[in-house]
Amino acid sequence: MARRRYSESSKRIITLIIGLCELILETFVYGWFWFKRYYPELSSVRISQDGYVLGNGIKYTMNGHIVVLLIYFMLLFFFSRTYGGLRVGYDKPLDVFLSQIFTLLIVNLISYFQLSLMRNWLVSVGPIVRVLFYELVLSFIWTYVVDYLYKRFIQMPRELLLISGDHPTDDIERKFGSRPDRFHITKRLNITSDMDILKKECLSKDYGGVIIWDIPTQKRNELVKFCYAHSIRMYIMPKITDVLVRGSDQLHLFDTPILLLREYSIKIEQRIIKRFIDIVCSLILIVLSSPVMLITAICVHLYDRGPVFYKQVRCTVGQKPFKIIKFRSMRQDAEKDGVARLASKNDSRITPIGNFIRAVRIDELPQLFNILKGEMSFIGPRPERPEIIEQYMEEMPEFAYRMKVKAGLAGYAQVYGKYNTTPYDKLKLDLFYIQNYSVWLDIKLMLLTAKILFTPDATEGIDENQITAMKKQSQENEN
């Protein structure tokens, strides 16, 4: 039986309704414990042995109960949107479930302290733990069942036409091919074909969109205008200039639209707030993670009696060198030949202890001290080694642009890319961050960083035949 093809608007509405239904069910679980456990606890008045008043004896009308549940629902909605927990059917079910895990952890932690403030003392932990458990079970079942039903009855792979330039398309085809539930490349054409033939093919009803990939700017602009005029969906590979222009300001000085692309500099008030967040968060995390760091240091040293820390020269803002601190995860002679290498898949240089601490990112914890000293920030482009920067800049001088801001423990490229994402793609991701910087973006990336710790793709190594992260490919035509 042929499935009905839903419009994009219909699918978005269905996805939103599905997500809201899940949040309503999770709010219902919280509401059940609110009425059965927490409200009776808050409405009673007791005196502790220390003389503290436990409970305010508050009495809520129905409107008061609605406000409490509405606050919980809004928190769920906000963090679900931030982490991507509402994207059932669009993202992989594991990614959606991981997003819901972090959403529920944060929301229930906030709600627990909210209830404790209402009581003037800590409320019972047991009920909120059970709320979290029931919500996680509900979320797991809901996510996987709805994802199956969505792909079975609603989602159909979008048939795509790929128009490419001179360079190989294996990488982008592999990426689109990783989501067979959403995309299927039906036909491939080269930009060297006659433009009229390309335009005629774009108009075919056989395709639900066109991938415009790695072609010269002049021809790309012609195709983009044509597809836009005929309401054809496009997936476009942005060039570095596209990323820079995207972060420009629109001016209305005359009767002609003008885009202002400033000489880059974070505003003074943004720098103050960013540095304040770095200092406060690094101090808190150093204290909280100190037991983990102590145990890790002991394990690293006992394995081969070598040094605990690994210090390496990296570059931060203005290509200024500094020594980054990490827990040592490789053998002591990992780079005895003096050649700078990034970790590859199944790298024999990594110790068993190193494999574990790299997988859960414990090896990065000592960088909290780099942040506290002001050499790094929590969010920013990852710092590279000077010799690797030189290699990158030989093929793409624009790599220097990412050093207009302070290097970071995590960044846009780490959240939305992978460890083995090509340097050119990482550069564009970092430039997206630089050109669209805001304090809120920093906060959002800090929240999302916790999620990628549990995403396997994020720690995937580079290919074994790579000396650095640079892939054996030519940089696309920027003309």
Query: Of 129, 154, 179, which closes a domain?
Result: 154
167 with 81, same domain? Answer: no
Q: Which domain holds residue 142?
A: 8-154
The region that residue 176 occupies, defined by phi over 0 for left and psi between -120 and 50 for alpha, beta otherwise, is alpha
What pLDDT, on the 0 to 100 scale, is given for residue 85?
87
Domain boundary residue, one of 154, 178, 204: 154
Same domain, 191 and 147: no
Residue 393 has pLDDT above 70, yes or no: yes
User: Is beta strand 249-251 parallel, antiparallel or unpaired with respect to 258-260?
Assistant: antiparallel
Q: What is the pTM of this model?
A: 0.73
What distance in Å separates the CA atoms of residue 474 and residue 424, rounded to the nearest whole number?
Answer: 10
Decide if 464 is inside a domain.
yes
Same-domain pairing of 40 and 104: yes
Specify if 249 maps to a domain: no
In a domain, 282, yes or no: yes
DSSP-derived pairing of the beta strands 53-54 and 309-315? unpaired
DSSP code for 162: E
**244 within domain boundaries:** no
Look at residues 430, 308, 288 and name the one whose alpha carbon lies nearest to residue 357: 308
Which residue type does 117 have? L
117 and 147, same domain (yes or no):
yes
Q: Do 111 and 185 have their domain in common? A: no
Residue 409, token pair as written in the block: 């423990």
Same domain, 148 and 164: no
Residue 179 maps to a domain: yes
Last residue of a domain, one of 154, 183, 218: 154
Instruction: Report whether 58 contacts 42 (CB < 8 A).
Output: yes
Whether residue 99 lies inside any domain: the answer is yes
Shared domain check, 313 and 181:
no
What CATH number is associated with residue 188?
Answer: 3.40.50.11060
Give the pLDDT confidence of 101-145 residue by residue, as tens digits.
889 999 999 999 999 888 777 888 999 999 999 999 999 999 999
Q: What is the pLDDT of residue 197?
A: 94
The pLDDT of residue 460 is 46
Residue 424 · residue 335 · CB < 8 Å: no
Query: pLDDT of 318-339, one tens digit each?
Result: 999 999 999 998 887 666 665 5
Predicted confidence at residue 260, as pLDDT, reads: 87
Q: Report the length, in residues, of the chain.
A: 479
CA dihedral 137, 138, 140, 142 (to 10 degrees): 160
Instruction: Name residues whose C-beta falls within 8 Å of residue 454's C-beta, 6 or more positions apart in sequence.
Output: 98
Question: Residues 189, 240: contact at Cβ < 8 Å?
Answer: no
Least confident of 5-9, 197-201, 347-351: 5-9
Cβ contact 222:195 at 8 Å: yes
Whether residue 142 is found in the same domain as residue 96: yes
Q: Which amino acid is at 318?
A: G
137 and 280 assigned to the same domain: no
Q: Is the pLDDT of residue 420 over 70?
A: no
Helices (H), 154-213: 170-177, 195-202
CB count in 10 Å sphere of residue 389: 18
The answer as to whether 100 is a domain residue is yes
- Does residue 203 share a domain with residue 86? no
For the chain, the domain total comes to 3
259, β-bridge pairs: 250
- Tell me, yes or no, whether 182 and 109 share the same domain: no
Instruction: State whether 29 and 83 are in the same domain.
Output: yes
Mean pLDDT of 269-288: 93
